[in-house]
Amino acid sequence: MKHVVYHLPSGEITKYARLNEENIELNQEPGESYSIITFPIADVSLMYMVDGEPAYRPVMTLTYSPLEFDVSEELVVTGIPAGSTVHYPGGSVTVDDGTIEWGSVVAGRFPFSIEKFPYLTERFNVEVTEA
């Protein structure tokens, strides 16, 4: 049996399987390539393919200031890779300048996520308190 990684041209892994050689191409979807690797992958969500070899996805080097604040202040996140999608309460936005600012007039706990392949998705919560 072979360790097979199916992936898109971007390097994004679509699936991983241990297969007999005759089944490898049968499991390939349109638009996918595959690579036979010599070792198992424990968690494909942490990996992507670079030149036919699995590699760990990089971590974003973000700066949050602050993650807890009152309704008169704002969250500022810097270091966001260009083209990232930021999901925030009430919507999402593509960030090209590396920075977001967000505030709320309502107190509460709010989830955020930042996505940009090949980076690992960043997830965090913001706590907004009354002034």
- pLDDT at residue 112, rounded to an integer: 97
Q: Which CATH architecture has domain 63-129?
A: Sandwich (2.60)
**Mean pLDDT along residues 8-18:** 96
* 3-state secondary structure (DSSP) of residue 3: strand
Residue 91 has phi, psi (to 5 degrees) of: 165, -160
Q: Which residue, chain included where needed, has tokens 């009430």?
A: 90
User: Given a cut of 90, is residue 62 above it in pLDDT?
Assistant: yes
Q: Which residue, chain included where needed, has tokens 């002034």?
A: 131
Residue (of 75, 87, 91, 90) closest to 116 by Cα position: 87
Residue spans of the domains in the chain: they are 2-56, 63-129
This prediction's pTM? 0.87
Provide the token pair at 36.
């036979």
- pLDDT at residue 117, rounded to an integer: 97
User: Given a cut of 90, is residue 131 above it in pLDDT?
Assistant: no
